[in-house]
Amino acid sequence: MSDSNTHSAGPGGVDTSAWDERLIFERSRPGRRCVTYPKPSRTVDLPESMRREAPPALPEVDELELVRHYTRLSQMNFSIDTTFYPLGSCTMKYNPKVHEKAARLPEFAGLHPLSDGNQAALKVIWEMEAVLKAVTGMTDFTFQPAAGAQGEFVGISLIAAHHRAQGNDKKVVLIPNSAHGTNPATAAMCGYRVEEVKSTERGTVDVEDLKAKMSDEVAALMLTNPNTFGVFEDEILEMAKVVHDGGGLLYYDGANMNAFLGQCRPGDMGFDVVHINLHKTFTTPHGGGGPGSGPVGVKETLLPYLPIPIVTRDGDRFSLEYDRPESIGKISTFFGNFGMVLRAFVYARMLGAEGMRRTSEMAVLNANYIARRLEKTFERPRKAQPMHEMVLTAERHKKEHGVTALDIAKRLIDYGFHPPTIYFPVAKVCPESMLIEPTETENCEMLDRFCDAMLAISEEAAGNPDVLHNAPHETPVRRLDEATAARKPVLRWKPE
Amino acid sequence: MNYTPHTDDDVAKMLKTVGVESVDALFDPIPKGLKLSSLDLPPGLTEMEAMALLNDLVAELRQDAPALSFLGGGAYDHFSPSVVDAVISRGEFFTAYTPYQPEVSQGTLRAIFEFQTMISELTGMEVTNASMYDGSSALAEAVLMAVRINQGTKVLIPRSLHPFYRKVVETYVRGIDLEIVEIPWTEAGTMDLAAVKANLDDDTAAVVVQNPNFLGVLEPLDELGEIVGASKAMFVAAVNPLSLGVVRPPGDFGADMVVGDGQPLGIPLSYGGPYVGFFSTRETHIRKMPGRITGQTTDVDGKRGFVLTLKTREQDIRRERATSNICTNQTLCATAATVYMAALGPEGLREVCELNLANSRDALEAVTSVDGVTQAFSGATFNEFVVRTVRPAADVLASLREKGIGGGIDLGRFYPELSDCVLTCVTETKRQTDIDCLAAAWGEIL
């Protein structure tokens, strides 16, 4: 164990190990073996120019060494299984164990994507589609996108295909200034110019500004609802009318769907395309950054353009239909992250309609509880009632004590909490912002512990700001030099 | 069943703190006309009932499955050592978030740094990113990156590229108006180098090659590398990473970008995903590269640590000027591939490759010893090969299927001129008895 845990300055809540596990290459010894294989029946000659000369320098370790290494690495992580993640916009809810069991059933795990013995898999896709149609009010879905950003790319590509087919020459995608960074990046990938729409003091889209920016050139408005301030866009119907009347379409970024699961539907709000993050609302695990799944739903007008293949049903038989001449094509090699769809299917079936409503109810209750407990200490820059998440700001702490949102976030680690989402995506409009989303799966003791920690940190900011500036104190490594990492990139291990 | 812990008392207490009468009141911001009165879904299930439902689906799959399958074509049946799933089943890995807070994400960051190193070793390239969605989107992103580097207006793509990869590339480049020129194959099944030379000019953004290609054939990367190296075009190779245990990597031949699908590295078939794309390039290109990258640095105490780096390329900072919109990737699958590569080591990787070579060669000889079956292309192969038959491939495969054998892929589905050709894959998981079984079935149906 390293000595990094001897200068304890924190409340001792850290939920990671304090050790500094080396890289596997540094545990390697020539000749050590883990997996071995039977002898081949023959040696096959490859042409000289095609046969590899020197073997790749992979590590050489025995099985126990390997298991200890990765176990110890894992214990240097925060995770939902160990820690509360009040991480706004990311919906870090509990990932049920039964989902993992489902995805590992050998018949599913071993099913080849080109196998014709695929009826049960197509049935899962078909039924999950029915669930998403019911909760979104859309007409049809594709499960090919591997994540939200790829879903956005599909969604905007569908809109582009529609406008092309109509002979419309559109050049602009409108995006609120509080949007997630993937929204403008997606619009640009699809060849559109991005124009920003302002938000009001309440935290909602400024409808007057939307009207002013709406023109013949606008292909679509991309929107999240509730938006990134956690506020419900209550003028959504009017916004939809403005965009539709102007010849544009509405894109729904489903990142925040957990706020109204079973309560209302983007399809009814006037959205023409939606993407849902199964790794958020439908709790497929984040895996340290993926895999996710970003199914895209459309209304009737965009049906012809969906990626191929689509799943069709004839009586009890399901099939994959590839012959769709107006389709935007393929987006995934096969059918997207089926293993994630299967997990989400189990979740949806277990929740049922009642469970879904209860999920959004408790998610919104938890967020409002935290907001109420903290809003006197950390101001809420947008006053409308939050839904499943809220923005708090540390502007006062910065002004009075020189303590930033980043310092507070890092200090939370010492208390055993993952930091909230800080600065992004609303930094431009709300300095020192912290976006907090508790989700429905945390109990009230945990919410209280978190609020108590935030209040204690606020006190520390006044009395001992350096304890925040230097946080975290008890983690395997402390604040890292990101500037040098980017200026002199070291992106792979090399022997000394 | 749902996963909300609060009791009625908890809810009452919390509502009091919030200062509203009921949970319903919290949804007042939603306009009345939009509120749902009911949701058209079946009632919820307990875990026990959900498992019963899954077991019904499993029974159906079992009944539908061939006893023996030789399907490849971009997704491969390989043995995954127990340690792989054991490691990624740890909640600390699979329930962790993206490592934006490096102090509490060193486990994921170090595993991904190892992934980047190991894939760079396999591909013979200098740097590798933290993963892409899958092989096809990685290839599409490589083509987009080539255009960012040299502003070319066309790309040369072999006809023998996996047809689904080609479709994905076409979808990705639609926003930038790129001409796709198809390069035919030779009798050997390799890329027609004369056609490459004839079409390669100053407007060419990239030349794409797949190795082995969709016909299972290994390409002459040495000659292709010389041709592309003498031009301004980027040399982009999509590879099967497992094959690189015995096959010379594109990095040896001057490739600018090497991409592929990491599925063969211990990732289950799972009906097409989740898999993991990888993306390797040269150091000179890193600032044009898409996706997350982990880098090494030091903390305030001078201790080595790891962070996501070169973030100014990415969507969260650069927004519409980002190199790609990719955000969530396939980290857990990359972690699985890392454990797989570490478990095999250089010697295990060589052994499994030799087994793939030997088993597929045994199967090719056994199947082509049947009258009416011939090898379609003469080029060297890794673990897949194409045979031509005297009957349409679709018929032959249906007959094999009646005998409980998934004999391979009907190439007529993708190439009309190959409607009498079957693509068969034989990996290390097949035993001599399986190969005998396949050859015997061929003998009986022709």
Instruction: Compute the average pLDDT of residues A335-348.
Output: 98
Rounded mean pLDDT of B71-95? Answer: 98
Among the partner-chain residues B23, B121, B315, the one whose CB lies closest to the CB of A58 is: B121
CA B96/CA A80 separation, integer angstroms: 6
Do B312 and B352 lie in a common domain?
no
Q: How many CA atoms lie within 13 A of A14 on its CB side?
A: 28
Q: Which CATH number covers residue B391?
A: 3.90.1150.10
Tens digit of pLDDT for each residue in A68-108?
A: 999 999 999 999 999 999 999 999 999 999 999 999 999 99
Residue A10: what pLDDT? 62
Whether A481 contacts chain B with CB within 8 A: yes
Q: What is the per-residue pLDDT for B319?
A: 75
Do B282 and B350 lie in one domain? The reply is: no
Q: How confident is the model at residue A9 (pLDDT cuts 50, 70, 90)?
A: low
Q: What's the rounded Cα separation, in Å, for the pair A78 and A234?
A: 36
Mean pLDDT (chain B) is: 96
Among A79, A339, A369, beta carbon nearest to B17: A369
Q: Which residues of B touch A346 (CB under 8 A)?
A: 50, 54
Residues B323 and B355 in one domain: no
- List pLDDT tens digits, range B419-437: 999 999 999 999 999 999 9
Task: Note whether residue B102 is domain-resident.
Answer: yes
Phi, psi angle pair for B155, to nearest 5°: -135, 135
- pLDDT tops 90 at residue A300: yes
Asked if the structure places residue B118 within a domain, the reply is yes
The answer to whether residues B75 and B148 belong to one domain is: no
Residue-range definition of the domain harbouring residue B100: 82-340
> Residue B177 domain-assigned?
yes
Asked if B334 and B350 sit in the same domain, the reply is no
Q: What is the pLDDT of residues A265-285, one digit of tens each?
A: 999 999 999 999 999 999 999
The pLDDT mean for chain A works out to 94
**Are both B99 and B125 inside the same structural domain?**
yes
Asked if the Cβ–Cβ distance from B107 to A80 is below 8 Å, we say: no
Q: pLDDT band at B326, cuts 50/70/90?
A: confident
Per the CB < 8 A criterion, the answer to whether B150 and A311 are in contact is no
Shared domain for B307 and B411, answered yes or no, is: no
Rounded to a whole number of angstroms, the distance from the CA of A227 to the nearest CA of chain B is 13
The residues in B 111-170 lying below 8 A from A, measured between CB atoms, are: 111-114, 116-118, 120-122, 126-128, 130-131, 133-137, 162, 164-165, 167-168, 170
A:215-234 residues touching chain B, CB 8 A cutoff = 231-232, 234
- Per-residue pLDDT, averaged over B254-275, amounts to 98
Angle at A31 between CA A27 and CA A37, to 5 degrees: 110
**Co-location of B335 and B359 in the same domain:** no
CA distances from B227 to A50, B194, B231, B254 (A): 17, 10, 7, 10
pLDDT attached to residue A4: 39
- pLDDT, mean of residues A411-420: 96
Phi, psi of A266 (to 5 degrees): -60, -35
Query: Which residue of chain A comes nearest to B252, CA vs CA?
Result: A52
Asked if B341 and B348 count as a contact pair (C-beta separation under 8 A), the reply is no
pLDDT value of position B328: 86
Distances (CA, A) of A423 to A404, A409, A455, A473: 10, 11, 20, 22
Q: Which residues contact B411 (CB under 8 A, 6 or more apart)?
A: B215, B386, B393, B418, B419, B421, B422, B423
- Judge whether B35 lies within some domain: no
By the CB < 8 Å criterion, does A265 face chain B?
Answer: yes
**CB within 8 Å: B6 and A364:** no
A5 pLDDT tier (thresholds 50, 70, 90): very low
Query: How many residues are given for chain B?
Result: 446
| B354–A43 CB contact, under 8 Å | yes
Alpha-carbon Rg for chain B in angstroms: 25
Q: How far is the C-alpha of B124 from the C-alpha of B180, rounded, in Å?
A: 27
Total domains in the fold of chain B? 2
Distance from CA of B31 to the nearest CA of A (A): 6
Question: Which tokens go with A316?
Answer: 């009890």
Identity of residue B141: E
Average pLDDT over residues B29-36: 95
- Give yes or no: residues B362 and B398 share one domain: yes
In the predicted model, is pLDDT for residue A8 greater than 80? no
Pick A189 or B388 by higher pLDDT: B388
Interface of A with B in 124-153 (CB under 8 A): 124, 131, 134-135, 146-150, 152-153
B52 touches chain A (CB under 8 A): no
Q: Sorting pLDDT into bands at 50, 70 and 90, what band is A229?
A: confident
pLDDT bracket for residue A11 (50, 70, 90): confident
Residue spans of beta strands (DSSP E) within B57-203: 68-69, 127-128, 154-158, 179-183
Is B397 domain-assigned? yes
A347 by Cβ neighbours in 10 Å (0-12 / 13-18 / 19+) ranks as buried
Is the residue at B43 inside a domain?
no
Instruction: Work out the angle between the directed axes of helices B331-368 and A63-74 (0-180°, nearest 10).
Output: 150
Where exactly are the structural domains of chain A?
Answer: 98-350
Q: Which residues, in sequence order, are CB contacts of B25 under 8 Å at separation 6+?
A: none
For A468-483, the pLDDT digits (tens) are 999 999 899 999 999 9
Asked if A287 lies within 8 A of B332 by C-beta distance, the reply is: yes
- Whether residue B49 is contained in a domain is answered as no
The two structure tokens encoding residue A87: 């991480």
- First-to-last CA distance in chain B? 55
pLDDT digits (tens, 9 = 90+) for B108-159: 999 999 999 999 999 999 999 999 999 999 999 999 999 999 999 999 999 9
CB B265 within 8 A of CB B375: no
Q: Which residues of A touch B43 (CB under 8 A)?
A: 352-354
Do B295 and B168 share a structural domain? Answer: yes
Place of tokens 């090494």: B296
Topology of domain A98-350, CATH: Aspartate Aminotransferase; domain 2 (3.40.640)
CB contact under 8 A, A23 and B114: yes
Residue in B236, B319, B316, B221 with CA at minimum distance from that of residue B280: B236
Q: Which residues of A touch B66 (CB under 8 A)?
A: 115, 117
Q: What is the 3-state secondary structure (H, E, C) of chain A?
A: CCHHHCCCCCCCCCCCCCCCCCCHHHHCCCCCCCCCCCCCCCCCCCCHHHECCCCCCCCCCCHHHHHHHHHHHHCCECCCCCCECCECCCCCCCCCHHHHHHHCCHHHHCCCCCCCCCHHHHHHHHHHHHHHHHHHCCCEEECCCCCHHHHHHHHHHHHHHHHHHHCCCCCEEEEECCCCCHHHHHHHHCCCEEEEECECCCCCECHHHHHHHCCCCEEEEEEECCCCCCECCCCHHHHHHHHHHCCCEEEEEHHHHHHCCCCCCHHHHCCCEEECCCCCCCCCCCCCCCCCCCCEEECHHHHHHCCCCEEEEECCEEEEECCCCCCCCCCCCCCCCHHHHHHHHHHHHHHHHHHHHHHHHHHHHHHHHHHHHHCCCCECCCCCCECCCEEEECHHHHHHHCCCHHHHHHHHHHCCECCCEECCCCCCCCCCEEEECCCCCCCHHHHHHHHHHHHHHHHHHHHCHHHHHCCCCCCCCCCECHHHHHHCCCCCCCCC
Measured in angstroms, the CA of B125 and the nearest CA of chain A are apart by 11
Q: Does position A347 have pLDDT exceeding 50, yes or no?
A: yes
Calpha distance A232→A227 (Å, rounded): 6
B314 pLDDT band, cuts 50/70/90, is confident
Output DSSP code: residue B159.
T
Q: Which of A87, A135, A232 is facing B97, going by the closest CB pair? A: A87
Predicted local distance difference test score (pLDDT) of residue B315:
75
Percent of chain B residues topping a pLDDT of 70: 100
Residue B287 maps to a domain: yes
Within this chain, do residues B399 and B283 fall inside the same structural domain, yes or no?
no
Using a CB–CB cutoff of 8 Å, tell me whether B14 touches chain A. yes
CA nearest neighbour of A392 among A380, A377, A403, A404:
A380
Query: Are B380 and A50 a contacting pair at CB < 8 A?
Result: yes
Supply the pLDDT for residue B424.
98
In this structure, the answer to whether residues B236 and B196 fall within a common structural domain is: yes
- What pLDDT, on the 0 to 100 scale, is given for residue A1? 34
Residue B331: name the closest of B7, B110, B164, B71 by CA.
Answer: B110
Residue B226 touches partner A, C-beta closer than 8 Å: no
Q: What local confidence, expressed as pLDDT, does residue A6 receive?
A: 38
Residue of B nearest to A85 (CA): B97
Nearest Cα residue in chain B from A53: B248
Substitution target from A65, A75, A114 for chain B, most B beta carbons within 10 A: A114
For residue range B353-363, what is the model confidence (pLDDT) as tens digits? 999 999 999 99
Residue B269 has pLDDT above 70, yes or no: yes
Distance from CA of A280 to the nearest CA of B (A): 11
B274 cis-preceded (ω within 30 degrees of 0):
yes
- For the cut 80, the answer to whether the pLDDT of residue A2 exceeds it is no
CB contacts of A92 in chain B (<8 Å) are 97
